[in-house]
Amino acid sequence: MTCLPEKTDKKLGLLIDLNICVGCHACAVNCKEWNTSGITGPMEDLKPYGDDPSGVWYNRIHSYEFKKPNEADRTVYFPKSCLHCEDAPCVTVCPTGASLKRSEDGIVLVNPDVCIGCKLCSWACPYGAREYDTSGGVMQKCTLCVDKIYDETIPEDRRVPSCVSTCPAGARHFGDFADPNSNVSKLAAENDARDLFPEMETKPINQYLPPKKREQHKSRSLEHKVSNVKDALLKWATLDFTG
Amino acid sequence: MHPALSVIIFTTVSGMGYGLFIWLTANILLGTPLADDDVVIGSVMAFILVATGLVSSTVHLGHPERAWRAFSQWRTSWLSREGIMSIFCFGPMVFIAGQYYFDLGFENFVNLVAVLGLISSVLTIYTTSMIYASLKAIPAWHNNWVILGYQIYALSSGGVAYIVVAGWQHHMIVVYLLIAALIVKIATWINIDRHRGQYTRESALGLTDFGKATPFEPAHSQKNYLQREMGYELAPGRRAIMRWFALGCGFIIPALLLYIGLPAASLILLICFVGMMAERWLFFAEAEHVVRLYYDKDTV
């Protein structure tokens, strides 16, 4: 049903720390690994070794260079997947009910047995979270590894999305944003967590921690620099390199 | 947005079909003397135009055989509402064509059905326009000009079709409608040009306080679905050419030819149709999706 739930019991989502992410793409690779044989797989992978490979990925790792006057440039690696928005526009536009937001945990899913492949949901999403499977004729997206996080045959501490369990840097956190005492809620509250594209009024669940602000380096005084140069010259003049 | 031929044909042809049916039902209600054959031909033509559009729209579906499922989500989805309304409209079209052709003896119901046909046609065009106007992620569509535009282009192009079917008795009204449609189209473009650049990449990233962001390494080596579907870039220079072509063929030339009374209504309709196709092509090609902020656009 494409009516959004008034309230979800949980708000499961990811907290991604841009200060830690090193842009290694391991999360995207493990996502594909798990989900291609998961409930919404296979994930299309056409001509993987050809000139023009194409396919579906639920997670893409962008990178950006930020330039600000009087500051050194900084590079930010930016993993982007479905944000499981509270006001998900992709769900309400769906004409068939294939797109849905679960009332129990807030996960946004596509039912591949009902999807007609009209692609309107991908037009409605401002984040580019949905990709079309040309072979299956249906839309695909991040499931938050719904077939992993509830699997009781997996040890409890490993019941997290694949992108989280594989991140070698520990930049990705998974938890319930509806619970103020959860790991993600605490991290978000302590660290100036950001919504992507707040103007779109989608109320994304996933949050991003911004890169750390740089400490201002105290510029060394001219006097200090002059004494350094003088010391070096004296060393050459006296050919005394012992000090 | 990628200008897919199937959707361009769908919106242009079905818009013209509903416009024609609005003209026909309005004239029945106003008591305009119409030959029975003209009413039949007009209704059948409207039916064929709308049906062609609907069939064309299913071409771009991944699973056309599941299209019936699209009638279920009318509570939230404008696409679903459009599907239901478009099927509903076939009722009055078939009734009016049948009544005038076979003389079924339902004369008393003709006016009632004509009112139903007129209102449901207007509502169907409205639902079509709302599919686009409700998408916040595409600023060129997310405004009232799109809603007004779809109605008036349907009425102007449908009016030209009406002249082909039923003759020239109201041709000056069509001329005025074409001029009004021309003004709406120009106003729409002014609105698009004025609001270009309201969203920034930094805002899309949630990082507005770190200076200006430019893409560094691409996220993938080849174009993906998002870029193929939503990354369409109108070539510089082509915008102006296509805009003039759309204005000329869609509105100006048909209005002039109708005004001077060129006795070739079918030719005028053909010119108008080609112009409306160009207008609809631009509607997609000019619309920039905000997802491009994550890729090639600094602002949208």
3-state DSSP call for residue B8? helix
Residue among A66, A137, A196 minimizing CB distance to B211: A66
Sorted by sequence, the CB contacts under 8 Å of residue B185 that are 6+ apart come out as: B149, B153, B246, B247, B250, B251, B279
A138 interaction partners in chain B (CB closer than 8 Å): 62-63
- The Cα A114–Cα A225 span in angstroms is 71
Please, what are the domains in chain B?
Answer: 5-295 (1.20.1630.10)
Residue B62 distance to chain A (closest CA, Å): 4
Q: Are residues A97 and A114 in contact, defined by beta-carbon separation less than 8 angstroms?
A: yes
B171-200 tens-digit pLDDT: 999 999 999 999 999 999 999 999 999 999
- Note the pLDDT of residue A124: 98
Is residue A206 within 8 A of residue A83, CB to CB? The reply is yes
DSSP B200: B
Domain parsing of chain A, residue ranges? 12-209
If residue A222 lies in a helix (H) or strand (E), which one and from where to where? helix A222-238
Mention every residue, 6+ apart, whose C-beta is less than 8 A from residue B20: B42, B45, B46, B49, B158, B161, B162, B165
Choose the closest CB to B62 out of A62, A63, A137. Answer: A137
Is B72 within 8 Å of A138 when comparing Cβ atoms?
no
Indicate if the pLDDT at residue A217 is higher than 70.
no
For residue B225, give the nearest of A92, A131, A210 by CB distance: A131
What pLDDT, in 10s, does the model give residues B87-112?
999 999 999 999 999 999 898 999 99
Strand pairing of A12-17 and A99-101? unpaired
Closest Cα in chain A, distance from residue B146 (Å): 16
Sheet with A207-209, strands from edge to edge, namely: A172-176, A12-17, A207-209
**Amino acid at the residue A235:** K
ipTM confidence: 0.95
Reported pTM? 0.92
For domain A12-209, give the CATH number: 3.30.70.20
What mean pLDDT value characterizes chain A? 93
Q: Min CA distance, B173 vs chain A (Å)?
A: 36
Confidence class for position B40, pLDDT limits 50, 70, 90: very high
The CA distance from A159 to A146, in Å, is 10
Alpha helices in chain B (DSSP H): 5-30, 36-59, 78-102, 107-133, 144-166, 171-195, 201-205, 225-230, 238-247, 253-260, 265-285
β-strands A172-176, A54-55 pairing: unpaired
Residue A81, number of CB atoms within 10 A of its CB? 25
The one-letter amino acid code at B55 reads: V
Nearest CA in chain A to B7: A118
